[in-house]
Structure 1
Amino acid sequence: MIFTAENILLIGSVLIFSSILISKTGYRFGIPTLLLFLLVGMFFGSDGLGLQFNSAEDAQFIGMMALSIILFSGGMDTKYQDIKPVLTPGIILSTVGVLLTTLLTGSFIFLLSEWNRTNIELTLMASLLLAATMSSTDSASVFSLLRSQKMNLKENLRPMLELESGSNDPMAYMLTIVLIQIITSGSELNLALVGKDLLVQFLIGGSVGYAFGRFAVWLVNRIGLSNSSLYPILLLSLVFATFTITDLLKGNGYLAVYIAGVIVGNARLVYRKEINTFMNGLTWLFQIIMFLTLGLLVNPHEMLDVAVVALLIGLFMIFIARPVSVFACLLPFRHISNKARLFVSWVGLRGAVPIIFATYPVIAHIEGSQQLFNTVFFITLLSLVVQGMSISSVARWLHLDLPEEKEGNEFGVELPDEIDSKLNDLTLTDDMLLHGNRLKDMNIPKGTLVMLVKRGNEFIIPNGQVELQVGDKLLFISENKDNKQA
């Protein structure tokens, strides 16, 4: 069966529906949701139920759109105060770490291809190209796993990992593109030229991303649309404009949308709740579509030809290349413990990004590109199974896990950003009611107001005469002292 204009909606809805149902079951067993989306795509594909999808160009386009949304949404959830202490190590991991991983893995692949007992024959440049496509950690996988499992980690590890995964795709992308250009032109590797191209890509990407982020904040807060539902759509149009314009200026679009997301996420924004809800839903939708598409694109039987070599490369990346790169990059930062370095090494997740980058050699008609694509796909599956299913266990084994932080309040009430106040909730105990069981008897700080009382499933609007009980939950509104002092 092939996709047509008549059946694409039905097939697409069946694929998405099946993915969501299966992911609910798989989550209980600790299976990464994104891995299940990939497997669903493979099950419905050419070697499964027979859906025919073999367009690397279409998969690359879908991946580009999805990554733009995922990186922007990830940037919006990245807070300055969280990443500030880990900014330097995070940036080093996302640049130098990617380069070291490429060099180490590429050298290993070249040695394997020289060994006459393997079925791959790759030049040094082709070996480095294969390594470059897999050199970055996958933002979709890292964001999804850390947040869906609600992992809280010591030593600021979560913001460091999210910063690294959100900002290291541009480096891997640039290395992939540069190596393809070298191979197709037949020229030799010029490190000075590569360094210059990387610098230009990062400078343009960073500058355009910052400018569009500031413009987006200004526009959303000032435009005054008649319908609040239009604000997220307006922001989405700016995300795609940021990526496209950056690409036209020969900058890195993935870096630009991530930085724009960070700027927007840390600014005061009207209708933030509506925007966050829209972007979170859209992120999940495009993650599902992207992983399903990539699952449909691969022919599983072709991976059998590269299974042994891909397994060796994958294990080398997991147990040697990634740890060596991480320990080398974090060497100057003595405050980061060895346990933390080990955990960062383990969260070297591969996912959709390496597979999408592996479509570039296919489209460029690089010799052996299909073998390269199948190798990357196999290693991605290996990484999601071995690393993705064990992240929580490794965090507990290294004693780096923390109790889950409660998000929001139990009343489900949120305040708009333009109101310079914050909400907190409190559960009453016997000690709190020693001097009386009414609000007027309690020592409530100045500038604090009790808005609601929750007793079981009942909500009570408080006044001075309401008799409170042990176990009642109070919703407070108070002045935001941090902003006031600033």
Structure 2
Amino acid sequence: MITAENILLIGSILIFISILISKTGYRFGIPTLLLFLLVGMLFGSDGLGIQFNSAEDAQFIGMISLSIILFTGGMDTRFHEIKPVLTQGILLSTIGVLLTTLLTGWFIYYLSCHTRADIHVTMLAGMLLAATMSSTDSASVFSLLRSQRMNLKENLRPMLELESGSNDPMAYMLTIVLIQVIGSGSNLEAGVIARDLLMQFFFGGVIGYAAGKFGVWLLNRINLPNTSLYPILLLSIVFITFTATDLVKGNGYLAVYIVGVIVGNARLASRKETQTFMDGLTWLVQIIMFIALGLLVNPHEMIDIAGVALLIGVFMIVVARPVSVFLCLLPFRNISGRARVFVSWVGLRGAVPIIFATYPVIAQIPGSNQLFNIVFFITLLSLVIQGMSISQMARWLKLDIPQEKEGNEFGVELPEEIDTRLDDLTLTADMLKEGNRLTHIDLPQGTLVMLVKRGNEFIIPNGQTELHEGDKLLLISENKQKKRQNT
């Protein structure tokens, strides 16, 4: 029986099982988001029998989830990191998506007309299918790069995150325009598409920038009685931005990503509380979104389209994505061939293509159910083949670098307003040759010792504190930029 209590119980059980399974999957290099999808499929109509067949509800869940995921991804994006790769990222997220759509759409139409593949579509329908899958999935890329703690050479990580965070508008617009053209029976006009795309990017960019600046100004000036209210206030700004942008025919996904970038690169009151809240919320909505999409599909229906979906998926991985990447990055001679190959490989599909595939279903486009199943199959294929091999591919291409240590071993953090940095230092025998008192330790000018950790004991030091080999010192010092200004 469908009751509020049953929905809450079953939903909680699904989330509980997903998190437990994800811990096991992480050890074997299985993408966490793939496991969430599989949990949904396991409990769905062909599994344990949970009936969820509302494309509208799945689309609504996806819209909310993607807004939060893109905003949090933007917050984690440092402008000084994406600035050197801004042009490359924009080309990949616009021209790259268009090229992927054209190449894949042509291939689908070729399969329909010149082979015995079990697919029969017009050129426009083939382009629509390709458009829904043309963007890389932000949730998958952010999750994989960060959960696997990947650091990459040649500024590849910020380039990939910028691309995945900003390429949804192009795919979304192509999907909507093609649905309108097919539904109305009108001709495809390049001028209309170009105009609509410009409106999407213009309003998305302007409103996103303005909302981000307003959010920073408001959070730094409002004095709320509880710090836990700051992230909630910011979340409301994110949803207002998304809906306001959509009302004026802009792209809300681009707008909330820009809000995240603006907020993430500014000094912000209660940043730690906000970051912790948004990280937890992002994981929650990712789990809910992927489980919901897993419940929506009927696995037995994918058997009929497995062959053609496999051909299309392999074509996208081996031909369409690499060709579009190499063409977009052709003007940039400072990017090595190995880096281009790696960018081509990180063409991950995930929740975004599946959500976009619900639009033709809701619009009742002929053959939309087959289209949805093909997109879902290719998403699974991408997460299995590309998602499980990203780390190995980076090592094989010699593009991975050691992960930098974040924070300090003491778990101490300081507010952003205090222009200082914290480091930790482990004492060796050589450091204690001149004496074992704190006054004997040679420290840089402007650096003080806040704490000494000896085993499980914490000591507040003074100049005469005796130190032992293996002691860990928590150091506080001025930022280098401030030091240069003072000198």
User: What displacement does 1:116 show?
Assistant: 4.6
Q: Deviations over 1:355-407 (max 9, x none)?
A: 00000000000000000000000000000000000001111111111111111
Q: Which moved more, 1:181-190 or 1:439-448?
A: 439-448
The alignment status of 1:137 with 2:124, answered yes or no, reads: no
User: What displacement does 1:447 show?
Assistant: 2.1
Q: Which moved more, 1:433-442 or 1:324-333?
A: 433-442
- Residue type at the aligned position of 2:6: N
- Residue type at the aligned position of 2:451: L
| Structure-2 residue corresponding to 1:332 | 331
CA distance in 1, matches of 2:311, 2:250: 35
| Structure-1 residue corresponding to 2:99 | 100
CA contact (8 A) 1:3 1:53 kept: no
CA distance in 2, matches of 1:116, 1:447: 73
Q: Deviations over 1:157-179 (max 9, x none)?
A: 11111111111111111111111
Q: Deviations over 1:201-236 (max 9, x none)?
A: 101000000000001101111110000111111111
The alignment status of 1:247 with 2:253, answered yes or no, reads: no
| Structure-1 residue corresponding to 2:155 | 156
User: What displacement does 1:58 show?
Assistant: 0.3
Partner secondary structure for residue 451 of structure 1: strand
CA distance in 2, matches of 1:344, 1:414: 35
Partner secondary structure for residue 275 of structure 1: helix
| Structure-2 residue corresponding to 1:411 | 410
CA distance in 1, matches of 2:296, 2:357: 12
- Residue type at the aligned position of 2:404: E
**1:172-251 aligned within 5 A:** 172-251=171-250
Q: Which moved more, 1:357-366 or 1:189-198?
A: 189-198
Partner secondary structure for residue 4 of structure 2: coil
**1:244-393 aligned within 5 A:** 244-393=243-392
CA distance in 2, matches of 1:3, 1:318: 41
Q: Deviations over 1:440-484 (max 9, x none)?
A: 112222322111111222111111011112221111111123256
CA distance in 2, matches of 1:4, 1:266: 44
CA distance in 2, matches of 1:385, 1:319: 15
- Residue type at the aligned position of 2:176: I
CA distance in 1, matches of 2:271, 2:342: 33
User: What displacement does 1:4 show?
Assistant: 3.2
CA distance in 2, matches of 1:32, 1:484: 44
| Structure-2 residue corresponding to 1:453 | 452
| Structure-2 residue corresponding to 1:10 | 9
CA distance in 2, matches of 1:461, 1:169: 52
Q: Which moved more, 1:285-294 or 1:426-435?
A: 426-435
CA distance in 1, matches of 2:440, 2:193: 71
**1:69-108 aligned within 5 A:** 69-108=68-107
CA distance in 2, matches of 1:67, 1:219: 24
Q: Summarize the Cα distance change of 1:483–1:319 in structure 2 as closer, same or farther, 3 Å threshold.
A: farther
Partner secondary structure for residue 407 of structure 1: coil
CA distance in 2, matches of 1:218, 1:415: 21
Partner secondary structure for residue 135 of structure 1: coil
Q: Summarize the Cα distance change of 1:225–1:121 in structure 2 as closer, same or farther, 3 Å threshold.
A: same
CA contact (8 A) 1:453 1:460 kept: yes
CA distance in 2, matches of 1:407, 1:76: 17
TM-score normalised according to structure 1 size: 0.98
- Residue type at the aligned position of 2:405: K
| Structure-1 residue corresponding to 2:481 | 482
Q: Show structure 1 runs of 5+ residues with no match.
A: none
Partner secondary structure for residue 475 of structure 1: strand
CA contact (8 A) 1:130 1:372 kept: yes
User: What displacement does 1:485 show?
Assistant: 5.2
User: What displacement does 1:85 show?
Assistant: 1.2
- Residue type at the aligned position of 1:43: L
Q: Deviations over 1:262-284 (max 9, x none)?
A: 00000001111110000000000
- Residue type at the aligned position of 1:336: I
Q: Which moved more, 1:387-396 or 1:3-12?
A: 3-12
Partner secondary structure for residue 73 of structure 1: helix
RMSD: 1.1
| Structure-1 residue corresponding to 2:36 | 37
- Residue type at the aligned position of 2:87: T
| Structure-1 residue corresponding to 2:20 | 21
TM-score normalised according to structure 2 size: 0.98
Quote the sequence identity (%): 78
CA distance in 2, matches of 1:196, 1:85: 29
User: What displacement does 1:77 show?
Assistant: 0.2
Q: Summarize the Cα distance change of 1:116–1:481 in structure 2 as closer, same or farther, 3 Å threshold.
A: closer
**1:47-126 aligned within 5 A:** 47-126=46-125
Partner secondary structure for residue 307 of structure 2: helix
Q: Which moved more, 1:463-472 or 1:362-371?
A: 463-472
CA distance in 2, matches of 1:165, 1:239: 19
- Residue type at the aligned position of 2:89: G
User: What displacement does 1:352 show?
Assistant: 0.3
CA distance in 1, matches of 2:95, 2:50: 41
CA contact (8 A) 1:71 1:139 kept: yes
CA distance in 2, matches of 1:426, 1:484: 21
